Amino acid sequence: MNKQTLIESVTKELGISKAQVERAVNAVLNGISRGLKKDKNVQLIGFGTFLVKTRKARKGRNPQTGEPIKIKASKTVGFRVGKKLKEMI
């Protein structure tokens, strides 16, 4: 499922306009993004928790040449599934 099919699914379920649903979905996604930036995690009880993870700097290899390279430290977003969602799947 992608964002567009999610919007269509919610539109059918709620019976409201596609534009309203798209604004709502965008608002939720923006809220999650802002929450991650500010608090480093967003917990949705029963669904799961989005959290910021940090990766340490490390050494790697260029797959084309085999030459060793340095990979910088970085941040990424992780997701821990909630109990209810885990049981549904």
What number of other Cβ atoms are within 10 A of residue 42's Cβ? Answer: 19
Question: How do the pLDDT tens digits run along the chain, 89 residues long?
Answer: 999 999 999 999 999 999 999 999 999 999 999 999 999 999 999 999 999 999 999 999 999 999 999 999 999 999 999 999 999 98
Q: Copy the structure tokens of residue 39.
A: 């608090």
Give the global pTM: 0.78
Domain borders along the chain are 1-39, 46-89
Instruction: Say whether domain 46-89 belongs to CATH 4.10.520.10.
Output: yes
Residue 51 is predicted with a pLDDT of 96
Residue 84 is predicted with a pLDDT of 93
Residue 75 is predicted with a pLDDT of 94
Phi, psi of 81 (to 5 degrees): -70, 140
